[in-house]
């Protein structure tokens, strides 16, 4: 995972991203994607927009994922797991989340809204998880470069580690 200003690879930081991605993609997203597809058929958007049902369904899946799952599940898990593995206490992890949440959400939406829309619009169900894993690898490089090292950012001083 991307690491700036480090001559030596920070294995603990890298492990924090691996642990987060395994928990989110493996433990949460894999069962969530079929649920989203089964429950978002374009009916809600179809009440206010007149488009092809497949386009409306893909838009509903994307909007549900990006506007509900990402802020409520993804980022709390991200800041909690990466903070914990990088030895931050709860207060330091929360301070880091408050400092970076908005910027990372906007960056996330710029990358994932088009990626999710194409995914839900074009891919059969059996390719949903492999696609998100491949795109997730690219996203993790962006996220790692954007979120930085939890222990160096000022959100965590030595007194704020656990």
pLDDT in tens, 57-83: 999 999 999 999 999 999 999 999 999
Degrees, nearest 5: CA angle 53-57-58: 120
Rounded to 5 degrees, φ, ψ at 88 are: -90, 145
**Which residues have a Cβ under 8 Å from the Cβ of 137 and sit 6 or more positions away?**
none
Percent pLDDT > 90 in the chain is 61
pLDDT in tens, 2-20: 445 556 788 888 888 889 8
Kindly list the distances between the CA atom of residue 148 and the CA atoms of 78, 82, 113, in Å, as whole numbers in the listed order.
Answer: 12, 11, 23
**pLDDT tens by residue, 79-105:** 999 999 989 999 999 999 999 999 999
CA distance linking residue 134 with residue 130, whole number of Å: 6
Please tell me whether the overall predicted TM-score, pTM, comes out greater than 0.95 for this model.
no
């Amino acid at each position: 995972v991307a690491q700036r200003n480090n001559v030596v690879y920070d294995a603990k930081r890298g492990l924090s991203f691996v642990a987060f991605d395994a928990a989110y993609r493996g433990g949460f997203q894999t069962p969530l994607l079929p649920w989203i597809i089964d429950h978002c058929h374009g009916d809600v958007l179809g009440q206010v927009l007149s488009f092809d049902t497949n386009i409306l369904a893909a838009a509903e899946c994307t909007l549900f994922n990006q506007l509900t799952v990402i802020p409520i599940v993804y980022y709390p898990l991200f800041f909690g797991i990466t903070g914990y593995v990088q030895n931050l206490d709860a207060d330091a992890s929360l301070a880091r989340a408050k400092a970076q949440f908005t910027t990372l959400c906007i960056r996330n939406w710029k990358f994932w809204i088009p990626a999710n829309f194409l995914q839900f619009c074009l891919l059969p169900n059996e390719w949903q998880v492999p696609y998100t894993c491949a795109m997730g690898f690219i996203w993790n490089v962006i996220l790692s470069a954007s979120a930085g090292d939890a222990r160096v950012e000022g959100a965590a001083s030595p007194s704020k580690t656990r």
